Structure 1
Amino acid sequence: MPLALGSAVISIRPSPARYAKIARSPDVHVSFYARIVGRNIMRCVSLFTLVLASIMILTSTAPHLSPRAAAIAQGDSGVFESGFTTAAPVIDGQFADGEWDAATIEPLSFFMIDLTTGEDTRFIPADLYLMNDHENLYIGLQIFGVPYNNEGVAGNGFDFVFFFFDNDNDGLIEPGEDLKAVVTAQANIDFAQRGTYADQHQPIPEEEDDASDLHIDGLGRIVHSNVRGIGHYTIELAVPLDSGDPLDIRTEPGGEIRFNIALATALGTAMAEAGAFFDLPFDQDASGWGLIKLQTGPIPPDRDPMLVGTITFITREFGDGQQLYVMNADGTNLRRRTRGDRIPGAPSLSPDGQKIVYVAEQPDDPETAEIFVLDVDRGRPRRLTRNGVAESHPVFSPDGEKIVFVREGNIWVMNANGRQERQLTDLGLDSDPVWTPDGRIVFTTLRWRDVPEIAIMDADGRHVQRLTDNEKGSLAPQVSPDGQWITFFRYDGPGSFLDFGVSIFYPWNIYRMRIDGTGEERLTGDGLINFLPTFSPDGRGILYQKILDIGSGYTVLSYLDLATGEDRRVFNLSRVSDFDWR
């Protein structure tokens, strides 16, 4: 899916050769499929920076636009009071009945200029909705009388909406201050309403990369009412009042924040325009921007689950590359456990939570993946395999004495010290082995289809039994602590999940079934990509990954309570690629 902006082209789809390589490599741990998704479709975020820079250059010689407060009835002071809500809206770009009843509503207009000539062009009317609770500022926006400008990506250009914030309310736009954006950057027009989102900041001169926040938070969605003609955009945005990120706004109910909203439409065409509610925000002067006054209200009870045990995970969120971390399941005692250039993946905790086995590869060379083990408390990785053949998915046995893993599409087992390797399967079609409490092995295989299915076998590789039969495949099985259930995930859209240019725009869901393959049930249904589930140590819940936004690479960990069905985000992490919980 190439995204074009002038001469800049950004590709977010893997090459056919890459697909072919994946299809020929059944030994690749299924979380590697997820990493392929992450590496190849989460590229949109740099496009926001390119667009923002382009608008700044194109408007640098344009006439300075006077504040719109004099032209549109919004109150002489430019102060906007937010409403207080106790029911957060669903951020899906669609105003559900009653969802914004607590919001204040202001009729405004974007003052547009031609990005080629710098001349004034028109006003575009809009309605602004504002409300907040104790955690977020919610901004709703309806922009009227505009076409959908992303017909099949190669058609009429792109539309962006930027949300600017003056973090310290000093009337100046300064490096590092908060910036959010939504864009109609979708290849599949039937899914244009999903849009994509960026959590960014004003460029910092010494930064070498784009202006994307390292920690992604908030969420935005943009929907057009008629993707084949003139209509209106509906936008919903949630902005944390205090995310903990120093580049984000930091306020509280009863506080206030200076803001501006800009619209850029038909970018990449001769009809490109840009405008804002207030001054176009490119001269460091924010004194004419609007001011949102946040409201106070009742404090809701704490609903966070009490999670126990140890969690290990892989992330690049903390600015030191992609590394392996470990922490208590309640979020305390975070520790980094790897360093250097080798890229870790597929971590698995020992049954007592004292060791982590994982794979690590040289940058951009998955064929160099070897198995390592480290001590949770001290770190100190030790290499277990040295054979020049890529290994994947190492997992400790229930007694901690052995490690099962994958090599060249076959399942192997070795002692926990790396000795006495023994091959269990020989068809070159198997992956993702995990142990049952009684010592059997559940795994995925291509023996019956060209997509993975789940099977179970004895610890010696005999008595293979098929557990799933679904044309979409069944991925990343994990067994419950009592050995009674298997959870996994599945792509629920058209075609093959390997066709990421299509599959990323359709739902992927978490499932579970009994250990014998009966009683299959779907556990998620929010239309997003939900993947890599694992049971909690007590078996009462499932922790899994959710991609909130394709374009920004915004992944979160969600906890599903199996008794109540309650499903919510846990931990303040936004770029986890793999994890385990014991």
Structure 2
Amino acid sequence: MGKVGRVAFVLAVGLSGALIQPAAGQAAGLPGTVAYVRGGDVYVGAGAAEKRLTTGGGHSRPRWSPDGRRLAFLRQGRLWTMSADGGAQTRLSTRPAAGPSWSPDGRWIAFASLSCTGGPGVYRIPSTGNAKPEVLFPRDCRTEELPEEAEAAAATGSLNDRLRHDDAVAWSPDGTRLAFRGGDCESTYDACLTIGTVDNGAEKTVAAYGGGSLQNRGYAVVPSWRADGRKLSWTAYQEGETPADSKPVHLVEYDVATGTKRTVGSALDRELAYIDADRAVITSRNRGGSWLAVLALTNGTRTLLRAGSQPSVQPTTR
């Protein structure tokens, strides 16, 4: 991206907003504990206190259960669960997995894995494990045999390279829909994000890049629903026809009813996890690395928390 385009985008999303370092013990207004990743291991923290739940690296995408008592996470690309204190770590499936998400009733965990079409698909498995994964998307794969458990290539390279193929999924608060990267829209576009209806397998494209009549390149990944189901956010990147049309990694918030979109936060913000309608925990950049921050969605101000990424906010109703 050209310098002019990058500067224009930074000004548009408010990168100049003040970053506030919390004092020791300050909880930054968080209603619960945040799970996150640092150095390939899962931590939980609130205020100045934190606890390391895993060791040895290779862990990613922790996600709280609806009752706040367990976490789903990935270990070496496989789906696991554990209790909130790091105990009872249990592998649910041998199938390579990406980005888990719990159903609102806690009975199921959805994850992405290779589908019968050869592209990314979405599966669900009982949160207790000991069962064969069930295909949700693509719909046409529901009646097909599960594909072999092909090992996915580890994501390497720049932040863009790693995010571009992140297959994290997000289950809607009412349990009827799942948001995920890819879908039927990949037959038209180079990259896309989909909301799929669980019952009938219908799909709706909510973000698309390249192909068709679109003269751009990019991606939309790591979706996250607001608790009322009215908003969906994701991490995006775009290369346009001109520098002014290009955007570095940024956050998009989508109104499910109207289809309108807006950029929230600043350039290089990613991985939004809602606290409530007005605040979210995000991964931001600070001191040359990834830091968690509380972002005010109304005015873009933020409070830094600690080094880490891939946040998930513990539900307050348990």
TM-score range, shorter chain: 0.5 to 0.7
Structure-2 change in CA distance of 1:337 and 1:417 (3 Å): farther
2:237/2:247 contact within 8 Å kept: yes
Structure 1 residue ranges without an equivalent (≥5): 1-195, 201-215, 220-238, 247-316, 319-333, 339-351, 362-368, 496-505
How many angstroms apart in 1 are the aligned matches of 2:69 and 2:61? 16
Aligned with residue 407 of structure 1, among 72, 75, 100: 75
Aligned with residue 480 of structure 1, among 140, 152, 172: 172
- Residue of structure 2 in register with 1:512 after alignment: 195
**Letter in structure 1 aligned against 2:202:** G
- Residue of structure 1 in register with 2:236 after alignment: 546
1:577 aligned onto 2:270: yes
Structure-2 change in CA distance of 1:554 and 1:448 (3 Å): same
Structure-2 change in CA distance of 1:243 and 1:466 (3 Å): closer
1:358 aligned onto 2:30: no
The number of aligned residues is 232
How many angstroms apart in 1 are the aligned matches of 2:229 and 2:61? 22
How many angstroms apart in 1 are the aligned matches of 2:66 and 2:258? 29
Aligned with residue 564 of structure 1, among 235, 255, 258: 258
- Residue of structure 2 in register with 1:218 after alignment: 8
**Cα drift, residue 433 of structure 1:** 1.4
**Letter in structure 2 aligned against 1:198:** K
1:535/1:543 contact within 8 Å kept: yes
Structure-2 change in CA distance of 1:438 and 1:410 (3 Å): same
- Residue of structure 1 in register with 2:45 after alignment: 374
**Letter in structure 1 aligned against 2:174:** D
1:444 aligned onto 2:122: no
1:474/1:488 contact within 8 Å kept: no
Structure-2 change in CA distance of 1:458 and 1:560 (3 Å): same
2:125/2:134 contact within 8 Å kept: yes
- Residue of structure 1 in register with 2:206 after alignment: 523
**Cα drift, residue 577 of structure 1:** 3.5
How many angstroms apart in 1 are the aligned matches of 2:13 and 2:87? 50
> Could you list the per-position Cα deviations for residues 206-245 of structure 1 after superposition, in whole angstroms to 9, with x for gaps in the alignment?
xxxxxxxxxx5415xxxxxxxxxxxxxxxxxxx9599574
How many angstroms apart in 1 are the aligned matches of 2:90 and 2:54? 13
How many angstroms apart in 2 are the aligned matches of 1:562 and 1:241? 23
**Cα drift, residue 355 of structure 1:** 0.9
- Residue of structure 1 in register with 2:136 after alignment: 467
Q: Secondary structure at the match of 1:392?
A: strand
How many angstroms apart in 2 are the aligned matches of 1:242 and 1:433? 29
> Could you list the per-position Cα deviations for residues 334-372 of structure 1 after superposition, in whole angstroms to 9, with x for gaps in the alignment?
66699xxxxxxxxxxxxx9411111111xxxxxxx1111
How many angstroms apart in 2 are the aligned matches of 1:468 and 1:533? 16
Structure-2 change in CA distance of 1:446 and 1:335 (3 Å): farther
How many angstroms apart in 1 are the aligned matches of 2:234 and 2:48? 25
**Cα drift, residue 485 of structure 1:** 1.0
How many angstroms apart in 1 are the aligned matches of 2:259 and 2:48? 37
Query: How do residues 221-240 of structure 1 correspond to structure 2 at under 5 angstroms?
Result: none
How many angstroms apart in 1 are the aligned matches of 2:51 and 2:249? 30
1:197/1:549 contact within 8 Å kept: no
How many angstroms apart in 1 are the aligned matches of 2:112 and 2:272? 19
How many angstroms apart in 1 are the aligned matches of 2:82 and 2:182? 30
**Cα drift, residue 536 of structure 1:** 1.6
**Cα drift, residue 479 of structure 1:** 0.7
2:13/2:264 contact within 8 Å kept: no
How many angstroms apart in 2 are the aligned matches of 1:412 and 1:242? 37
Query: How do residues 180-329 of structure 1 correspond to structure 2 at under 5 angstroms?
Result: 196-199=1-4, 216-219=6-9, 245=16
- Residue of structure 1 in register with 2:147 after alignment: none
**Cα drift, residue 455 of structure 1:** 0.5
2:166/2:221 contact within 8 Å kept: no
Higher CA-based Rg: 1
How many angstroms apart in 2 are the aligned matches of 1:540 and 1:488? 17
**Letter in structure 1 aligned against 2:248:** Y
- Residue of structure 2 in register with 1:433 after alignment: 100
How many angstroms apart in 2 are the aligned matches of 1:458 and 1:354? 26
Structure-2 change in CA distance of 1:402 and 1:576 (3 Å): same
- Residue of structure 2 in register with 1:453 after alignment: 121
Runs of 4+, deviation exceeding 3 Å: 239-246, 334-338, 447-451, 491-495, 525-528, 548-553
**Letter in structure 2 aligned against 1:406:** L
**Cα drift, residue 414 of structure 1:** 1.0
How many angstroms apart in 1 are the aligned matches of 2:62 and 2:12? 41
Q: Secondary structure at the match of 2:174?
A: coil
How many angstroms apart in 2 are the aligned matches of 1:418 and 1:241? 41
Structure-2 change in CA distance of 1:559 and 1:553 (3 Å): closer
**Cα drift, residue 581 of structure 1:** 1.6
**Cα drift, residue 489 of structure 1:** 1.9
Larger RCO of the pair (alpha carbons < 8 Å, separation 6+): 2
How many angstroms apart in 2 are the aligned matches of 1:430 and 1:553? 29
How many angstroms apart in 2 are the aligned matches of 1:538 and 1:415? 26
Structure-2 change in CA distance of 1:476 and 1:517 (3 Å): farther
How many angstroms apart in 1 are the aligned matches of 2:257 and 2:13? 32
**Cα drift, residue 454 of structure 1:** 0.4
How many angstroms apart in 2 are the aligned matches of 1:337 and 1:507? 45
How many angstroms apart in 2 are the aligned matches of 1:245 and 1:578? 20
How many angstroms apart in 2 are the aligned matches of 1:337 and 1:445? 42
**Letter in structure 2 aligned against 1:480:** S
How many angstroms apart in 2 are the aligned matches of 1:556 and 1:242? 9
Structure-2 change in CA distance of 1:197 and 1:383 (3 Å): same
Q: Secondary structure at the match of 2:224?
A: strand
**Cα drift, residue 566 of structure 1:** 1.3
Q: Secondary structure at the match of 1:218?
A: helix
2:73/2:80 contact within 8 Å kept: yes
Structure-2 change in CA distance of 1:198 and 1:445 (3 Å): same
**Letter in structure 2 aligned against 1:197:** G
Identity of aligned residues (%): 23
